[in-house]
Amino acid sequence: MAKALFPKYAVLDEFLPPEVAQGWLDFALARRDQFEPTTVIRAGSTSEGHAYRRSLRYCGSLGEAGAVLEQALRAALPELLAATGLAPFPIATVELDLTAHGDGAYFRQHTDTLAYGDSPAGDRLLTAVYYVHVRPAAFTGGDLLLHPYRGNDEPIALEARHNRLVSFPSIAPHEVAPVSLPGDRFEDMRFAVNCWVLRARG
């Protein structure tokens, strides 16, 4: 039987200065009214994804908070690319998406490459997820599960810790394990900034 082949990944704890990480949490908590149910794109169409995905997505501008995270991510790229086994590539853009996971939230196994033409800006090659939440965490679960490219081994479980960045190739199959959050208070949710580094085409 062939040995399972898992994606390479990077885990960077205390990724941002503590005050910047707290600023990200404050940013999310101050914008509760701008979070809406997430959708999924499948077979070329967009729909609410309750059977496939359950979470909330921030629908406003990330402003200065986004710029600071993107700058830190770009500075860490050499380390992230080396750890994930990706060769350096010309960058078209970096996409950021803030989400919140409350009680019963999840995201079934998927990849972050878009099968229907990808983004007009380029091709997603590297995914990073940045986590913030209250401490101690009020939720349990919500691990990022990295599945093997080949084989049926159990996935690698990576905990969603405050101020942690996890990175892996966008083609890697992964999922968000179900979250348990008694009371389901917004301020106690698992907040994550999904980051995608896109390769320029041509």
Alpha helices in 31-106 (DSSP H): 63-84
Return the domain boundaries, the chain. Answer: 10-199
pLDDT in tens, 95-118: 999 999 999 999 999 999 865 455
What tokens appear for 34 in the block? 């701008």
Decide if 34 contacts 184 (C-beta within 8 A). no
Q: What is the pTM of this model?
A: 0.93
Instruction: Please give the backbone phi and psi of residue 162, each rounded to the nearest 5 degrees, phi first.
Output: -55, 135
Pick the range with the lowest mean pLDDT from 15-19, 47-51, 71-75. Answer: 47-51
Average pLDDT over residues 48-59: 84
The two three-digit tokens of residue 182, written as one number: 């008694």
Question: What share of the chain in percent tops pLDDT 70?
Answer: 91
Cα gap 117→180, rounded to integer Å: 35
- Can you tell me the distance from the alpha carbon of 107 to that of 6, in angstroms, rounded to the nearest whole number? 19
Overall fold of domain 10-199: Jelly Rolls (2.60.120)
Mean pLDDT score, 29-46 = 79
How do residues 123-167 score in pLDDT, each as one tens digit? 999 999 999 999 999 999 999 999 999 998 999 999 999 999 999
